[in-house]
Structures are given as C-alpha cells and as structure tokens.
C-alpha cells in the first residue's frame, strides 16, 4: 500500500545547509524559538488558510527532503548509545516526515511569518494544522532524553 503526498508550499529558513544548525542549538529545547522564517503556500491552497490568523501556534508537517537514508537505530548528537528512531526526532526515519510546532506572527495572503523554524530552507510543507488544547500535554516523561 503506497500513499502519494504532494507539497502544499515551501518553508523559507535562514538555515541553508544542515551545517548551519549547531548541535548546541539542537540540544536546547528553546534553541529555535527565536528563529524566524516564512511559509509560502501554493496559490492553489491559499483558500485553506482562512481563519488561521487567530491561532498563536501551528503544527507543521514537512518532508525531510535532504534525507535519503532510512535507519531504525540512530545516534543522536552527544549520545553514545544508539536509540530507536521512533524514540527520536531524527530525519532518518521511515517516510521522512517531520513535525514542528511554530509560532504564527503574521499572515498576508499566502505568506505566513513564523518563528520556531528548525528546518532547512526549501523544505516542502505537507500540512498545516492549528495547535489546540488536545496537543498540550503537561505531565510528560522524556525517556532517554531526560538528563535531569
């Protein structure tokens, strides 16, 4: 069973290559909060943006378009042990789909100004969803990522 998906737009980011993203920034849960970028939605999909400006945060689904290798075990930065890919946010995952929550600042026609950008310039957007109460979980355990 194969499912075909198509980009609905493109992310414009200050990160032109993966070397522009430091592992230090990656390790900091707030490391990308100040990073601004724009989402350029294809004109064919602009109508779907109606009412989006009332939401403070958006869930972006995107394609890790530079990833080629699918791995089941990955070694995250600063880690000595290999972790299962489904317990990581590694781009080297089956289906190469990424998910990031961004803050929405401004909407003008098919252009959305956002912050919290942690993906590369030119990343294809697969979906935009409003971040809602159901997505907010406070009593969370972080497994191997919990360093405290």
Q: Which of 40, 52, 67, 110 binds a second copy (CB under 8 A)?
A: 52
Q: Tell me if 27 sits within 8 A of 113, measured CB to CB.
A: no
CA 58/CA 101 separation, integer angstroms: 6
Confirm if 9 and 39 have CB atoms less than 8 A apart.
yes
Residues 71-130 that bind a second copy (CB under 8 A): 72-73, 82-89, 93-97, 99-101, 103, 124, 126-130
Closer by beta carbon to a second copy, 17 or else 30:
30
Positive or negative, the CA dihedral 73, 123, 8, 68 is negative
Instruction: At 40, list the tokens.
Output: 């350029």
Binding flags for a second copy, 3-42, as an x/- string (CB under 8 A):
xxxxxx--------------------x--x----------
Q: CB-wise, 19 or 30, nearer to a second copy?
A: 30
**Structure token digits, residue 112:** 């959305």
Q: Which of 56, 80, 108, 147 binds a second copy (CB under 8 A)?
A: 56
**Is residue 85 within 8 Å of 74, Cβ to Cβ?**
yes
The contact pattern for a second copy, residues 129-148, with x = CB under 8 A and - = no contact, is xxxxxxxxxxxxxxxxxx--
CA-wise closest residue to 120 among 4, 3, 17: 17
Q: Give me the residues that bind a second copy (CB under 8 A), please.
A: 1-8, 29, 32, 45, 47-57, 59, 61, 63, 72-73, 82-89, 93-97, 99-101, 103, 124, 126-146
């Amino acid at each position: 069973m194969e499912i075909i998906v198509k980009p609905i737009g493109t992310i414009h980011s200050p990160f032109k290559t993966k070397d522009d993203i430091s592992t230090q920034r990656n390790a900091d849960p707030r490391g990308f909060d100040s990073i601004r970028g724009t989402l350029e939605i294809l004109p064919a999909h602009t109508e779907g943006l109606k009412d989006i400006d009332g939401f403070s945060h958006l869930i972006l689904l995107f394609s890790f378009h530079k990833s080629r290798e699918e791995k089941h075990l990955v070694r995250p930065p600063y880690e000595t042990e290999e972790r299962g890919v489904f317990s990581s946010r590694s781009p080297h995952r089956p289906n190469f789909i990424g998910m990031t929550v961004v803050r929405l600042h401004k909407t003008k026609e098919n252009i959305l100004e956002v912050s919290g950008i942690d993906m590369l310039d030119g990343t294809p957007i697969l979906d935009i969803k409003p971040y809602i109460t159901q997505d907010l979980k406070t009593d969370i355990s972080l497994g191997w990522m919990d360093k405290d």
